Amino acid sequence: MTKYSQDMPWPRGLRREAAAAYLGISPSKFDDWVARGFLPPPKRLDRVTVWDRFRLDVAFESLTDEAQETSDSWAHLDGPEIEAR
């Protein structure tokens, strides 16, 4: 597998390991996010499976920011207001 660095431009089509590295996640987490629909499915041609880097960019941009996720995820735990007596 080719190792990519910031000095090398990323190709448009990325194999699984390279696509995971491009997003900064492990291949197993990449598989999980693809299976759960957070990331797009691959393109396949002649038994070659690649992910479109531009589609990965769009999908990654649409993910919820951590700060927003953290603040929203606790909202369901707020109980009814209790008045002091």
The count of domains in the chain is: 1
Summarize pLDDT for 37-66 with one digit per residue, the tens.
999 999 999 999 999 999 999 999 998 877
22 lies in some domain: yes
The fraction of the chain above a pLDDT of 90, given in percent, is 61
Enter the DSSP assignment of 50: E
Please indicate, yes or no, if residue 73 is contained in any of the structural domains.
no
Is 0.75 topped by the overall pTM? no
Q: Residue 26: inside a domain, yes or no?
A: yes
Q: Is residue 25 part of a domain?
A: yes
Residue 80 lies in a domain: no
Structure token digits, residue 51: 């992910």
DSSP string computed for 14-79: E-HHHHHHHHTS-HHHHHHHHHTTSSPPPEEETTEEEEEHHHHHHHHHTSPPHHHHHHHHTGGG--
Range of the domain at 32: 16-64
Report if residue 51 sits inside a domain: yes
